[in-house]
């Protein structure tokens, strides 16, 4: 210590030079060791405040925000807890639009905007000009691609392979990353669902893979991305992982007492697999496989999460993701959580067990990232595409004001009223996604040159609204002509407005009462503008992410500009969200 004091006192210029040289040496060493000593403490510490080498987007389908607290006591230290304790948490994170479906959710996460801009207004929607219903990822110009190459005649994968991002109207984080890197960055999407892989990956992605369970239990792609699967993907498909997981079946991971906050295992509020007498543990998946779509049965069990993590780790290794100084991106969407929610609901033992097991899969995935990419060299964000409602039949059993609604004979009732008042014609062309499409014939009558006390288009829409409000399950009905003005004063209408695409969405928009569903009496669904569907987790962790939390309202459209800011790339071109500044400060 004395010698150091003397040097500082007697040779300040030399000390300045030495410190500068030392700083340069450390910086140079860290840059040179990023690819050679990924798990060194020096490299990890420096990279934690710099750009990542791999960004991973994780979407957990139908995960409500409250699941972290409800199931968290059973979580490990290395899964959800690792990114919550060591990362940044947005506690009041919401979708700022409705309908809250899977397709729009995935598109909005990665485009930084809402369906009114990115064009994905539902999973399926009606095209009035063509009188057809289309699917958000369908593309008749492409074919499926599997281990045997292109499914040229559609006999192998059929409709399941005819998928691309062609209906997505704006760019994604991955698209902008590709552009900013001179197309050198790799971008890949993976999910059990085609839309969960394709929409996040974007237009310029290197590949997107989704699970095809009928017969094969393989991950497939489409000719939009190429005429053959990568060799590593073919090898993975040949391992027989789907068969192994089906053979394992599904039983509770913990003692039954751990699930005491859930509904009993045998109850009338859960649906069953086809051929099953009652929806109870243990599940013999081999016995149920044939009647439930072959290996597709994995989609509704924890095995679906396991095979997805296996495939994601194989993709990181096979594509050399995060192996150089150009940041890559991997979008991973866990779909099994959605299938179990639809079948069993949010309060079932099956749902809790699904998340306990998913937590362990996330731990395995994060450990794999540490090993393959390096600690401190990757960044992950985790969210959901929507939440889910309490099963109404269960809610009714404990006195909640919830129920079921179906538009049933509503169309006929409205048509009959309009016929009596204005004369017979086709008034309503379609009712779907909680919206009513008034026919072109009706609008032609409105805009014709004939005189009299004829109503205009806005008045026709409002009259249909009035008739729709007579339905017991409807709390609001909004004419498109009034939507903008209603959105300025009503938060529910504001969410509907953000999810509405003019010229594509319906003419009269219906909002069911809170907690009401159009669904069967077992399991649950989603799509509403209410908090059980809009409030989802939002977690950030890794390089470029500081530890902290915010209770300020954030939105799903804010994720893409936040990640873009961390990467130093342009926002997706349709972005209407803004970076979460408290995370970046």
List, by residue number, the catalytic residues: 102
- For 144-216, strand residue ranges (E) read 144-146, 149-150, 187-191, 207-212
Q: Which long-range contacts (CB under 8 A, 24 or more apart) does 67-72 make?
A: 67/346, 67/355, 67/537, 68/537, 70/261, 70/352, 71/352, 71/355, 71/356, 71/359
Give the residue ranges of DSSP H helices in 73-189.
80-86, 102-111, 115-118, 173-180
Q: How many residues does the chain have?
A: 585
- Residue found under tokens 């509770």: 252
CB of 137 closer than 8 Å to CB of 103: yes
Which residues does 395 contact at the CB level (< 8 Å), separation at least 6? Answer: 402, 515
Which two tokens mark 122? 């539902």
Residue 292's CB is within 10 A of a number of other CB atoms, namely: 18
Residue 134's CB is within 10 A of a number of other CB atoms, namely: 14
Which residues does 189 contact at the CB level (< 8 Å), separation at least 6? Answer: 174, 196, 197, 198, 199, 200, 201, 202, 205, 207, 208, 209, 330, 331, 333
- Residue found under tokens 């009959």: 416
Question: Order of strands, edge to edge, in the sheet holding 218-222?
Answer: 149-150, 144-146, 218-222, 207-212, 187-191, 328-334, 54-60, 378-383, 538-542, 88-90, 548-550
CB of 209 closer than 8 Å to CB of 197: yes
Three-state secondary structure along 305-351? HHHHHHHHHHHHHHCCCCCCCCCEEEEEEECHHHHHHHHHCCCCHHH
Which two tokens mark 159? 């409709």
| Residue 565: strand, helix, or coil | helix
**DSSP-assigned letters across all residues of 478-521:** EEHHHHHHHHTT-HHHHHHHHT--TTTS-SEEEEEPTT-BSS-S
Three-state secondary structure along 20-76? HHHHHHHHHHHHHCCCCCCCCHHHHHHHCCCCCCEEEEEEECCCCCCHHHHHHHHCC
CB of 483 closer than 8 Å to CB of 500: yes
d(CA 432, CA 126) in angstroms, rounded, equals 7
Give the dihedral of Cα atoms 110, 111, 116, 119; nearest 10 deg. Answer: -80
CB of 93 closer than 8 Å to CB of 368: no
Instruction: List phi, psi (to 5°) of 404.
Output: -115, 145
d(CA 199, CA 577) in angstroms, rounded, equals 18
């Amino acid at each position: 210590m004395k010698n150091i004091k003397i040097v500082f006192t007697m040779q300040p210029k030399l000390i300045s030079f030495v410190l500068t040289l030392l700083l340069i040496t450390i910086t140079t060493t860290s840059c040179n060791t990023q690819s050679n000593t990924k798990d060194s403490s020096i490299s990890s510490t420096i990279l934690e405040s710099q750009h990542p080498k791999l960004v991973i987007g994780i979407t957990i389908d139908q995960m409500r925000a409250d699941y972290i607290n409800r199931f968290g006591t059973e979580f490990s230290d290395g899964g959800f807890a690792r990114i919550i304790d060591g990362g940044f948490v947005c506690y009041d994170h919401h979708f700022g639009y409705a309908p809250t479906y899977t397709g729009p959710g995935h598109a909005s996460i990665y485009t930084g905007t809402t369906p009114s801009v990115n064009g994905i207004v539902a999973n399926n929607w009606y095209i009035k000009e063509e009188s057809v219903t289309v699917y958000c990822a369908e593309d008749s110009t492409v074919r499926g691609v599997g281990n045997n190459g292109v499914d040229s005649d559609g006999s192998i994968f059929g409709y399941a392979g005819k998928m691309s991002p062609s209906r997505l109207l704006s760019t994604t984080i991955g698209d902008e990353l590709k552009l900013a890197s001179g197309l050198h960055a790799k971008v890949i999407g993976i999910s059990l669902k085609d839309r969960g892989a394709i929409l996040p990956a974007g237009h310029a992605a290197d590949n997107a893979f989704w699970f095809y369970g009928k017969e094969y239990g393989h991950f497939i792609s489409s000719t939009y991305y190429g005429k053959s699967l990568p060799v590593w993907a073919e090898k993975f498909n040949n391992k027989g992982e789907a068969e192994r997981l089906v053979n394992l079946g599904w039983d509770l991971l913990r003692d039954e007492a751990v699930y005491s906050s859930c509904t009993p295992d045998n109850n009338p509020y859960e649906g069953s697999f086809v051929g099953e007498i009652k929806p109870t543990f243990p599940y013999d998946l081999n016995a149920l496989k044939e009647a439930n779509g072959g290996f597709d049965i994995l989609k509704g069990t924890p095995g679906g999460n396991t095979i997805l993590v296996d495939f994601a780790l194989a993709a990181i290794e096979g594509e050399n993701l995060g192996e150089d100084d150009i940041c890559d991106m991997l979008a991973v969407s866990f779909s099994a959580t959605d299938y179990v929610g639809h079948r069993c609901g949010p309060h079932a033992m099956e749902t809790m067990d699904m998340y306990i097991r998913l937590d362990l899969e996330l731990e395995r995935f994060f450990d794999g990232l540490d090993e393959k990419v390096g600690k401190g060299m990757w960044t992950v964000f985790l969210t959901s595409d929507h939440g889910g409602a309490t099963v109404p039949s269960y809610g009714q059993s404990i006195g909640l004001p919830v129920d079921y609604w179906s538009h049933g004979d509503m169309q006929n009732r409205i048509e009959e009223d309009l016929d009596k008042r204005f004369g017979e014609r086709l008034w309503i062309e379609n009712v779907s996604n909680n919206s009513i499409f008034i026919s072109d014939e009706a609008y032609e009558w409105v805009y014709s040159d004939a005189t009299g006390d004829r109503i205009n288009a806005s008045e026709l829409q409002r009259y249909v609204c009035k008739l729709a409000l007579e339905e017991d399950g409807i709390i609001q009905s909004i004419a498109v002509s009034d939507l903008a003005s209603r959105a300025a004063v009503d938060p529910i209408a504001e969410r509907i407005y953000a999810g509405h695409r003019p010229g594509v969405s319906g003419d009269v928009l219906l909002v069911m009462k809170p907690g009401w569903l159009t669904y069967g009496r077992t399991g649950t669904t989603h799509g509403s503008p209410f908090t059980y569907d809009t409030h989802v987790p939002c977690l950030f962790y890794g390089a470029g992410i500081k530890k902290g939390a915010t209770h300020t309202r954030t939105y799903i459209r804010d994720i893409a500009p936040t990640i873009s800011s961390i990467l130093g790339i342009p926002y997706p071109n349709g972005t209407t969200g803004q970076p979460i500044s408290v995370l970046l400060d």
